Structures are given as C-alpha cells and as structure tokens.
Amino acid sequence: MVEFAIFFLFAAIAVIFALVVVLHRNPVVGALSLVASFFALAVMYVLLEAPFLAALQVIVYAGAIMVLFLFVIMLLNLQHVAEPTTRPIQQFLGYTSGAAFGIGLIYFLLKYAVFSAGPEGPFRADARAIGIRMFEAYVFPFEMVSILLLAAIVGALTLSGRGAGVRSAFDSRGTEVSK
C-alpha cells in the first residue's frame, strides 16, 4: 500500500507542476516547475522498475535540458517581459479542444488498451540488461544517435551565432531585418 501512496503523491506533484508550466506567465517559474515535474516522473520510473532510466531522467532532462532552457531564458532576459495575452477565442478553443482530447484519450485508453497479463517473474531493467541490449541489437541506432547529436551541435552553433548564413536567410525579403 505504501507503493500506492508514493504513486498518488508524486502523480499529484507531476500534474500540479505541469499545470503551473501551462498557467504561469513567467517562463522562469515555468521552467523550474517543469524540473519538479520531471523529478516526480523519475519517481514514476523507479516505481516501474526502471531505475537506470530514472537516473537518466534526472541527469539528462532535469539536469541538462532544463538547465539549457533556463540558460536561454536568462540569456534573452525574458523573465521581465510580459507575455501578450492570448486572444479569447484562442483561449476558449484551446481549452475546449484540449479537454475534449484528454477525455477522449482517457476513454479510449480505458476501453481499448491491452491490459492482458504479461509474463510472470521479476522484470530486470537495470543498466546491465539495457547495456547488453543496446550493444547487441541496437548498436546501429546508437551510432546514428551519435551522428544526430553531432549534427545538432553544428546546427545549434550555426543558428545561434550571428553568422552570415542565418542572416542572409532572414534578409532574403530585404525588409525583414532592420538592425
């Protein structure tokens, strides 16, 4: 029963902080709330017997990706910029269609998702099992991901620098760039 208590506590934390991300106007508060939500999701991964991925969730998502978000928010000095209010029709359509989507998703999930019992016995999903699987069956995707990350590094450097390539793309209409 303590498992269920942990599940509901951290599920509530994840959902509440996710709502803060959507509803709060300040992007810094949103980014920090998202970190809290990711930590709660890491607890979910531990409950799902995947401790290695829980550690990756904390290190990669809460550690690296969200720090990158916070860094960009600070770099662009966005924490003082007031976000313009969304048009009421967009608010209304967004909330209603989002709610309809969510209700439909949960309905079809409970009605059609496969809940047949899986195999018996303990499920070993530790770093050893994942490593063996990764370097046997998944070694080609693993190498492809390394190339993808290299391409992302080059792309990010090209885009974020005040290089000529991006500027000429924005300049192509002549009047787009004033400075």
Partner 1 sequence: MIPTHYFLILSAILFTIGVVGVLTRKNGITIFMCIELMVNAVNLTFLAYARQFHDLHGLMFVFFIMAIAAAEAAVGLAIFISLFHHRDTIDVDEANLMHW
Helix 139-160 / helix 164-171 crossing angle, nearest 10 deg? 70
Given 74, 101, 139, 143, the residue binding partner 1 (CB under 8 A): 101
Given 2, 80, 112, 118, the residue binding partner 1 (CB under 8 A): 118
Phi-psi label, residue 177: left if phi above 0, alpha if psi -120 to 50, beta otherwise: beta
- Contact (Cβ atoms closer than 8 angstroms) between residue 12 and residue 41: no
CB of 144 to partner 1, least distance (A): 9
- Contact (Cβ atoms closer than 8 angstroms) between residue 66 and residue 31: yes
Please list, residue by residue across 102-134, b when 16 or more beta carbons sit within 10 angstroms of its beta carbon and e when fewer do. Answer: eeeeeeeeeeeeeeeeeeeeeeebeeeebeeee
Torsion of CA 104, 107, 113, 116, to 10 degrees: 170
The answer to the question of residue 140 lying near partner 1 (CB under 8 A) is no
The answer to the question of residue 136 lying near partner 1 (CB under 8 A) is no
Given 9, 49, 74, 143, the residue binding partner 1 (CB under 8 A): 49
Given 110, 112, 140, 164, the residue binding partner 1 (CB under 8 A): 110
Given 9, 36, 39, 44, the residue binding partner 1 (CB under 8 A): 44
The pattern of x and - marking residues 55 through 94 that bind partner 1 according to CB under 8 A reads -xx--xx--xx--xx--xx-xx-x--x-xx-x---xx-xx
CB of 13 to partner 1, least distance (A): 11
CB of 70 to partner 1, least distance (A): 10
